[in-house]
């Protein structure tokens, strides 16, 4: 039997969305949401009938055409034309996991009753979500202001029986799927096309996806870094609680506590050391990993506000008898937050690659490149090259998008956020980070094996044992691409048994 999440005015947060996605919950509108939607639509119909003055986007053109009044008999055509003309996305196709989040966030925003859409329109979006009829959306085309116009236009096309959708594992014309489902195309009423296109759901969906994954990667960065620390025969003193209480950044304290918990009981950790200090990539994990944790916490707060907001334009306030045109579609809060998250993710990768480099460098009793018979075998020399290359790309991708702006719509839209570019860059950085951490785990696991018969903590030994069932010890050269890909898969699926969203 299907389980449902009811769209309502209850506060939506990252954990709720994760639960909906992870447990494949279907969506339903609460009675409250249905009432809000229908009440707003009725108000708008009455408003148009009683008042013939221009109301932006409802009986006028759009953008710099806002002063062109549209006859009442053309209002439906106006909205359909808006959707078709704005569906000019290009680039790569947006992953279906992100498209599904776009649908969820758009439904949530429309449910508050400030957008003027028909109930049937929202119910059809819910049908798309529940039955995995997912619009084909493209990554390029949004300036992150006036809403994510091009991506959201592609999201809206299937409502009209236009465009393409993913259905049953392939891309199909939406008209074909609607006929198969016996769904009639929606006839858009006044304001509805604009309500669909104005909004930040493209940026928001990417951000939510990146945040959910970032918490998992934060945990893995700490764990893999700790495996590297022990394999490098590193010191535990830098993680002593007293050090971090006198500089009490929350993420720093959390990281140090977690590292000590991971390494507790390690034979390697308690053996006598010859070095006085370790390189910063080991010693300063709390400070570096922790700063990224704190950035993630800030970004999560921004997105929690956004996904509980109405971001189309104009906004309709039934109780106050107001239809107000403003700028809630402007993505500046998201653009800056996404840039910040991209930097945070890139730093986890940057310090990870440095630990990989140290492990293969022939120090602390470890063989060069962590292989027997170096020379005949190159060992883990080139995986580190790969990590270095990806880290460099992440540095380039982490250049802020939000400091840029390009004038559009004949000067009417003269400052834009570029939040969509920040979103897709952040997603790429996140995917790159998985590869970097995978290379570190491959390297750290190999280095740990050279410490035998001494063992690390039972926690680390159990984790590495599960890993080496997938990727075995490297006794001679082989095709490391396969090992890296297998390791990425392991990191994406391994059960962590940790409350991810509390760090």
Segments making up each domain of the chain, as ranges:
4-199, 206-309+323-502
Please report, for residues 105, 140, 141, 492, the alpha-carbon distance to residue 88 in angstroms, rounded to integers and kept in the order given: 22, 9, 7, 33
pLDDT exceeds 70 at position 66: no
pLDDT at 353: 98
Backbone angles phi, psi at 374, to 5 degrees: -65, 140
Q: pLDDT-based confidence at 64, cuts 50/70/90?
A: low
Alpha helix positions (H), 371-498: 381-397, 419-449, 458-468, 480-493
| Number of continuous H segments (helices) and E segments (strands) in the chain | 19, 9
Digit-coded pLDDT (tens) for 93-139: 999 999 999 999 999 999 999 999 999 999 999 999 999 999 999 99
Cβ atoms of 171 and 164 closer than 8 Å: yes
Q: Map residue 267 onto helix, strand or coil.
A: helix
Alpha helix positions (H), 264-408: 267-270, 280-283, 285-306, 332-359, 381-397
Dist CA 211 CA 298 (whole Å): 11
pLDDT at 53: 73
Q: pLDDT-based confidence at 84, cuts 50/70/90?
A: very high
Assess whether 56 carries a catalytic annotation.
yes
Pick the more confident residue, 20 or 55.
Answer: 20
**pTM score:** 0.95
Q: pLDDT-based confidence at 503, cuts 50/70/90?
A: low
pLDDT at 465: 97
**Identified catalytic residue from 5, 56, 138, 206:** 56
Dihedral angle of Cα 358, 360, 362, 363, to the nearest 10 degrees: 30
Cβ atoms of 309 and 114 closer than 8 Å: no
pLDDT exceeds 90 at position 389: yes
Strand (E) or helix (H) holding 373: none
pLDDT at 413: 86
* Highest-pLDDT range among 2-11, 158-167, 490-499: 158-167
Q: Map residue 4 onto helix, strand or coil.
A: strand
Closest CA to 424 of 123, 3, 138: 138
> What is the Cα gyration radius of the chain?
26
Q: What secondary structure, in 3-state letters, does 37-81 show?
A: HHHHHHHHHHHHHHCCCCCCCCCECCHHHCCCECCHHHHHHHHHH
Cβ atoms of 445 and 227 closer than 8 Å: yes
pLDDT at 1: 72
Strands, E assignment, 119-159: 134-135, 138-140
* Residues β-bridged to residue 112: none
Strand (E) or helix (H) holding 91: strand 90-93
Sign of the CA dihedral with 63 first, then 64, 67, and 71 last: negative
Backbone angles phi, psi at 160, to 5 degrees: -95, 0
**Class (C level, CATH) for 4-199:** mainly alpha
Give the pair of three-digit tokens for residue 497. Answer: 């048994």
Q: Map residue 93 onto helix, strand or coil.
A: strand
- Please report how the helices 201-231 and 14-22 are oriented relative to each other, as an axis angle in degrees rounded to 10: 90
pLDDT at 502: 74
pLDDT at 243: 98
Closest CA to 111 of 197, 30, 184, 191: 30
Q: pLDDT-based confidence at 156, cuts 50/70/90?
A: very high
Sign of the CA dihedral with 250 first, then 252, 253, and 254 last: positive
Pairing of strands 4-7, 26-29: parallel
pLDDT at 57: 66
Which residue is listed with tokens 């919950």?
25
* Residues β-bridged to residue 29: 7
Side-chain-facing half-sphere of 101: CA atoms under 13 Å: 28
Give the pair of three-digit tokens for residue 17. Answer: 């969305």
Contacts of 452 (CB under 8 A, 6+ apart): none
Cβ atoms of 358 and 281 closer than 8 Å: yes
Digit-coded pLDDT (tens) for 298-320: 999 999 999 999 999 999 999 99
pLDDT exceeds 70 at position 245: yes
- Average of pLDDT values for 23-50? 94
Strand (E) or helix (H) holding 324: strand 322-324
Give the pair of three-digit tokens for residue 360. Answer: 């293969």
Sign of the CA dihedral with 63 first, then 160, 123, and 90 last: negative
Specify the fold of 206-309+323-502: Fumarase C; Chain A, domain 2 (1.20.200)
Backbone angles phi, psi at 462, to 5 degrees: -65, -40
- Average of pLDDT values for 151-179? 98
- How many Cβ atoms sit within 10 Å of the Cβ of residue 120? 15
Dist CA 449 CA 452 (whole Å): 6
């Amino acid at each position: 039997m299907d389980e449902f999440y009811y769209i309502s005015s209850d506060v939506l947060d990252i954990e709720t969305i994760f639960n909906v996605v992870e447990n494949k919950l279907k969506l339903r509108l609460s009675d409250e949401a249905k009432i809000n939607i229908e009440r707003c639509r009725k108000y708008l119909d009455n408003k148009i009938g009683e008042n013939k003055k221009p109301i932006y986007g409802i009986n006028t053109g759009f953008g710099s055409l806002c002063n062109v009044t549209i006859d009442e008999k053309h209002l439906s055509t106006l909205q359909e034309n808006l959707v078709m003309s704005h569906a000019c996305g290009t680039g790569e196709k947006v992953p279906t996991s992100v498209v599904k989040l776009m649908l969820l966030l758009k439904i949530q925003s429309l449910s508050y009753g400030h957008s003027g859409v028909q109930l049937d329109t929202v119910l059809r979006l819910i049908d798309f979500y529940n039955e995995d009829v997912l619009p084909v959306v493209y990554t390029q085309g949004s300036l992150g202001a006036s809403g994510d116009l091009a991506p959201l236009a592609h999201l809206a096309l299937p409502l009209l029986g236009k465009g393409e959708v993913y259905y049953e594992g392939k891309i199909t014309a939406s008209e074909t799927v609607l006929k198969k489902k016996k769904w009639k195309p929606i006839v858009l009423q006044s304001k509805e096309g604009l309500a669909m296109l104005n909004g930040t759901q493209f940026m928001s969906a990417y951000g939510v996806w990146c945040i959910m994954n970032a918490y998992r990667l934060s945990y893995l960065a700490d764990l893999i870094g700790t495996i590297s620390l022990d394999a490098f025969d590193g010191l535990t003193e830098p993680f002593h609680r007293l050090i971090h209480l006198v500089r009490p950044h929350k993420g720093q304290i959390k990281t140090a506590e977690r590292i000590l918990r991971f390494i507790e009981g390690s034979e390697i950790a308690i053996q006598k050391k010859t070095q006085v200090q370790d390189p910063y990539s080991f010693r300063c994990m709390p400070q570096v990993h922790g700063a990224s944790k704190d950035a993630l916490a800030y970004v999560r707060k921004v997105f929690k506000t956004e996904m509980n907001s109405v971001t189309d334009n104009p906004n309709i306030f039934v109780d106050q008898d107001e239809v107000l045109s403003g700028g809630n579609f402007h993505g500046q809060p998201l653009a800056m937050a996404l840039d910040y998250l991209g930097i945070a993710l890139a730093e986890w990768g940057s310090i990870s690659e440095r630990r990989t480099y140290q492990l293969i460098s022939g120090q602390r009793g470890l063989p060069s490149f962590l292989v027997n018979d170096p020379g005949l075998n190159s060992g883990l020399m080139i995986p580190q090259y790969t990590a270095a290359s990806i880290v460099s790309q992440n540095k380039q991708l982490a250049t802020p998008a939000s400091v840029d702006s390009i004038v559009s719509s004949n000067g009417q839209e003269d400052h834009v956020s570029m939040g969509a570019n920040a979103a897709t860059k952040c997603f790429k950085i996140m995917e790159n980070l998985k590869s970097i951490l995978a290379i570190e785990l491959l390297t750290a696991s190999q280095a740990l094996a050279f410490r035998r018969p001494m063992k690390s903590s039972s926690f680390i030994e159990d984790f590495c044992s599960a890993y080496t069932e997938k990727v075995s010890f490297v006794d001679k050269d082989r095709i490391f691409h396969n090992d890296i890909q297998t390791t990425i898969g392991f990191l994406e699926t391994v059960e962590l048994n940790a409350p991810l969203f509390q760090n």
